[in-house]
Amino acid sequence: MKKVLVSNIMMLKEKERFDKSIRDLGYEPIWAPAEQFLSEEQCLSLVGDIDGWLAGDDRITEEVLKASLPRLKVIAKWGTGIDSIDVEAAKRLGVAIKNSPAAFANAVAEVAIHYMLSLRRHLVTIDKAVRAGEWPKPQGRELSGATLGMIGFGAIGQRIAELATAFGMKVVFSDPYQSESKIVGGKPAHSVDLDAIATESDVICLACSYNTENHHIVGEAFLKKVKRTAIIVNVARGPLIDQQALVDALSKNRIAGAGLDVFEVEPLASDDALLSFENVMLGSHNANNGRAAVEYVHENTLNNLRSVLG
């Protein structure tokens, strides 16, 4: 019987359900002891005797892939991002990589808009104050008429832009794979450079994939160009933002706030400096938690596995 390593936390949370699903496909599941994702060392200790892998954000390096041969035939990534996998090495070594592109466009876009609304209108701050017996009336800024600068304009970025235009926002974007302006939500979205994203945007939202080229794409130099009234939303990957530079900018009131679903190190440490800011909203890398999207990815990930293993 072919063996399948299961290390993604979404299936691990429903082990009984997916143990049956995997066995019904004719495979023997091997359940990994993952809390968030497997380190390279943990991966190395588990591979070599598996034919397929239902992976999460595990650190699947070239060394891990080599140790997986000759049995490993397919890595079916739960979700969209494959930045934790050495894809080029997988191609050279003949290991198929499968994922579920665009699956979370609606789910993630809704969370991104929530961050924008809550931060611009101080909704979370007001909620906390009212619960404490206060009755504050801070002045907020509407989304209508504001400029949204998207870093990344794939399926998720375009869906965020589409929802934003419904609120009356103007949209500009920067994406190395999208150089032409587009019509989104019936309105024009213009392609601009990163400097223009920094200087023109009232809301800056990251929805791009992560790679070595865009590591810390939002860093100290970028943040110094941003409007003091602007907010930054990250629903993509934590290392896209230099977290220390962001803390410094927040400390010096160089930006108005941030909504972060992802971080450079996850989970976020209990003493992280970001916890001290009232104008920062924190997530748990869970913007994709829409039920319909999750169920689709469950099914598609298993189908991806079966398409290679047979």
- Catalytic residue numbers read 237, 266, 285
- Residue 217 makes CB contacts below 8 A (sequence gap 6+) with 151, 194, 206, 208, 240, 241
Q: Distance (Å, rounded) from C-alpha 282 to C-alpha 265?
A: 13
- Residue 125 makes CB contacts below 8 A (sequence gap 6+) with 136, 138, 278, 279
Peptide bond into 70 cis (omega under 30): yes
Burial category of 47 from C-beta neighbours within 10 Å (exposed 0-12, middle 13-18, buried 19 and up)? buried
**DSSP per residue over 265-299, as a string?**
SSSPPTT-GGGG-TTEEE--S-TT--HHHHHHHHH
Distances (CA, A) of 248 to 120, 196, 223: 20, 22, 10
In eight-state DSSP terms, residue 143 is S
| Kind of pairing between the strands at 231-234 and 203-206 | parallel
Residue 122's SS3 state is coil
Residue 280, strand partner residues? 258
Angle value at C-alpha 215, between 157 and 271, nearest 5 degrees:
95
* Dihedral sign from CA coordinates of 202, 194, 57, 246: negative
